[in-house]
């Protein structure tokens, strides 16, 4: 099928980027995003290079695509990643309204290489009370916690996303 070949070509491109990135001060991860109108953008892992724990290849690809096309909405785009996206990258893809995600290596491959993707997936499968990092709601009293949403709802110039 022609579509399958195209998917595999972009996936191969993402994986080649990942391998090259290792020799360029980055982690072994690469991504390619193809917008709905067939523009292609690349992303590289730059976590240690930029001291940015969020600079995963998928996120940098999304940022590159959004910056170049002047939008925060990549509806209809397809994301190819050299490795199964971690929960952050998966959520980033959801926020960007990516239509589909394809990956080569999986979270177990990443774990074997020393990366925490599988562990973070486990985090979400662990009951809240037993998680390694506590996340808890604190009370502000009155309706203080709703003030940002009230301000948002009242703003005529808001851009919905």
Binding site for Zn ion (CB under 5 A): 56, 86, 88-89
- Give min distance, CB of 89 to Zn ion, in A: 3
Residue 107, C-beta contacts closer than 8 angstroms, at least 6 positions apart: 83, 84, 86, 117, 118, 121
Q: Smallest distance from the beta carbon of 120 to Zn ion, in angstroms?
A: 9
Taking 3-state DSSP, the helix, strand and coil percentages for the chain, each rounded to the nearest 5, stand at 45, 15, 40
Which pairing describes strands 78-83 and 30-34: parallel, antiparallel, or unpaired?
Answer: antiparallel
- Asked if 33 and 61 count as a contact pair (C-beta separation under 8 A), the reply is yes
Q: Which residue in 113, 93, 116, 97 sits closest to 105, CA to CA?
A: 113
Please identify, using beta-carbon distances, which residue of 16 and 116 lies nearer to Zn ion.
116
The torsion angles phi and psi of 42, rounded to 5 degrees, stand at -110, 155
Torsion 108-114-119-120 (CA) sign? negative
For Zn ion, which is the closer residue by CB, 64 or 88?
88
Q: Based on CB atoms, which residue is closest to Zn ion, 10 or 29?
A: 29
CB of 143 to Zn ion, least distance (A): 36
Active site residue 58: yes
Task: Identify the active-site residue in 2, 16, 42, 58.
Answer: 58
Shortest approach of Zn ion to residue 104 CB, angstroms? 14
* Tokens encoding 31: 């991504």
- State which residue, 46 or 56, has the beta carbon closest to Zn ion: 56
Q: What positions carry a catalytic annotation?
A: 58
């Amino acid at each position: 099928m022609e579509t399958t070949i195209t998917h595999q070509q972009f996936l191969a491109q993402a994986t080649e980027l990942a391998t090259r990135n290792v020799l360029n001060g980055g982690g072994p991860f690469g991504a390619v995003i193809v917008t709905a109108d067939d523009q292609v953008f690349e992303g590289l892992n730059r976590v240690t290079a930029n001291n940015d724990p969020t600079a995963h290849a998928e996120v940098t690809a999304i940022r590159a695509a959004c910056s170049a096309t002047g939008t925060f909405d990549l509806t209809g785009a397809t994301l190819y990643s050299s490795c199964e996206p971690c929960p952050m990258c998966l959520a980033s893809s959801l926020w960007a309204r990516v239509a589909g995600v394809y990956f080569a290596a999986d979270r177990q491959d990443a774990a074997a290489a020393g990366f925490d993707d599988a562990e973070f997936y486990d985090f979400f499968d662990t009951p809240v009370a037993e998680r390694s990092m506590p996340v808890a709601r604190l009370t502000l009293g009155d309706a203080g916690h709703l003030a940002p949403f009230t301000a948002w709802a009242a703003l005529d110039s808001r851009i919905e996303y």
